[in-house]
Amino acid sequence: MRSKHRHIKAEVIIDGGPHRIYRAGNMGRAMAGNLLKAGYRLHVYNRTPDKAAPSVAQGAKSMSHPCDTAEAGGIVLTMLADDQAVETIVLGERGILERLGPRGIHLSMSTLSPAIARRLAEQHNKYQVAYLAASVFGRPEAAAAQKLWICLSGPQAAKDSVRPILSALGQRIFDFGEEPGSANVVQLAGNFLLASAIEALAEALTLAEKNGIDRTKLAAILGQTLFACPAYQIYGDVIARERYRPASFTVSLELKDINLVLQTAAAATVPIPLASLLHDRFLAMMAQGLTDPDWAAVALDVAANAGVPRESITPARPV
């Protein structure tokens, strides 16, 4: 499968503020690599040019500004950290929409709020650009192995156009219709369940440890029997062995996602008390300056509440 006329923006890294650094580069690099292997010709942008080097080494061309990745009637793929980042790329100075123009497609693969997806779709329509939400389930290693699960929503004709691209990135595509924010709702629901699984595992393993049970043995039996699924297998092992760095998904990113879950639930008048607990758990980590460990490191807060001594991990920067 080759595409000689489509330029795809496949990687972006941005700063989220003085105390929060959001990185989407691990996913973007893996995805760009798979597209290059599939024969696509890529223009990539990264806020830090050196971090685009792996993609350039594989044949991509690094651009100096996000809008330079776009061409008339082409496809721009974004993998960014949050709503503000995507709005800046799309609606900020030298945004991509005018450059894309009629028949252009923006394939947004970030975890965003459904509200911003709808607002972006309206702005895209003004330029006759199709906006697609294509949120993903999977860690960077899944992205590298082309094993992402992709949730897709937006205009049908545009979805048909990008299916070969998405097939080069994931193992299966799930279509959630044409409503722009639908894929984002699915993503938030899934991330909420993953965070809930991490909380439950942390509590269960701490309970076992205080009663003399080996944490790794409990994690292993749960992952092989009652909860024989990737979420419990992966995060049970991470928590049991306390392997919180390097992170595949950081505490700061998950706090952002939990905030989106709470906002989306409030807009739909849905009580969601477990999300409030998770919010406080991740916020406590942030207050300690622990922004960059893997999100499973909230198990440290669970252990601290139970009076279980743990070797402290160093904050990324002063609080």
Q: What is the pLDDT of residue 303?
A: 95
pLDDT of residue 8: 52
Burial of 304 (0-12, 13-18, 19+ CB in 10 A): middle
Average pLDDT over the chain, rounded to whole?
88
φ, ψ (nearest 5 deg) of residue 171: -95, -20
What per-residue confidence (pLDDT) applies to 27? 85
Question: What is the token pair recorded at 206?
Answer: 């701490």
For residues 33 and 146, what is the distance between their CA atoms, to the nearest angstrom? 10
**CB of 113 closer than 8 Å to CB of 260:** yes
Note the pLDDT of residue 14: 28
Give one DSSP letter per residue of 300-313, joined into a string: HHHHHHTT------
Query: Per the structure block, which two tokens stand in for 1?
Result: 């499968």
| Domains of the chain, first to last | 3-180 (3.40.50.720), 185-305 (1.10.1040.10)
User: Among 89-103, 208-222, 223-237, which stretch is predicted with the lowest mean pLDDT?
Assistant: 89-103
What confidence tens digit (pLDDT) does each residue in 217-263 have? 999 999 999 999 999 999 999 999 999 999 989 999 999 999 999 99
pTM for the full predicted model:
0.88
More confident residue, 50 or 149: 149
